[in-house]
Amino acid sequence: MIGSLLRQFLAGLDEIPQAIIQAFYEARAHLGGRVLKLAKLVELLSAVLERFQQVFICVDALDEFVPEYRARLLRSLRQIVDTSPNARLFLTLRPYIQDLESNIPLDMGIITIQPRFSDIQTYLVTRLDADPHPAAMDNELRSEIMTRIPRESPEM
């Protein structure tokens, strides 16, 4: 993830800084080549972010990361924000994730977003109308889907 962020920010520059090129050449020079270690990627990303006036790092679906990798990612993001005052984080995740504040204790605002009953119904209508096999569903099944799923949604 950090490597991907580095690549995305490098794409926004006119030229790749020499320090980045050198780091990758050095890593490749080892027997069989190797990827850069996480600490080096964090260091390089922080250096690249200095070239921007303000940056926003958005990580969606953080709850889908494997927990042990999620903790490492959060600690790395914390390092980046600590060394890059121009960087802001925007993270999305389900509310049951407990390791966010323990791994990235920043002054952060948490906004809870929950779908309304009508949001779920609108989503279902859109999906059902786009069903590639419309003949597989009768009106009774469609009615049950439209009633049961919004009512039994854990967010409701």
Across the range 53-67, mean pLDDT stands at: 90
Does residue 111 sit within a domain? no
C-alpha–C-alpha distance, residues 115 and 124, integer Å: 13
Mean pLDDT of 147-156: 74
For residue 156, name the pLDDT band (cuts at 50, 70, 90): very low
Whether 37 is in a domain gets the answer yes
The pLDDT score that the predictor gives to residue 102 is 62
Does residue 147 share a domain with residue 91?
A: no
Mark whether 51 and 92 lie in a shared domain. yes
In a domain, 85, yes or no: yes
Mean local confidence (pLDDT), 114-140? 89
* Residue 42 reports pLDDT greater than 80: yes
Measured distance CA(56)–CA(140) in Å, rounded: 47
**Average pLDDT value for residue range 113-138:** 88
* DSSP at 30: S
What are the angstrom distances between the C-alpha of 39 and each of 26, 42, 77, 156? 15, 5, 11, 42
Pair 19, 86 in one domain: yes
CA–CA gap between residue 122 and residue 125 (Å, rounded)? 5
Segment 78-103 mean pLDDT: 79
Helix, strand, coil percentages (3-state) for the chain, rounded to 5, are: 55, 5, 35
The mean of the pLDDT values for the chain is 85
What is the DSSP secondary structure assignment for residue 34, as one 8-state letter?
-
- Within this chain, do residues 83 and 121 fall inside the same structural domain, yes or no? no
Tens-place pLDDT, residues 96-111: 665 565 666 556 677 7
Kindly state whether residue 131 falls inside one of the protein's structural domains: yes
**Is residue 84 domain-shared with residue 137, that is, in the same domain?**
no
Domain-embedded: residue 108: no
Residue 127 structural domain: 117-152
How many structural domains compose the chain?
Answer: 2
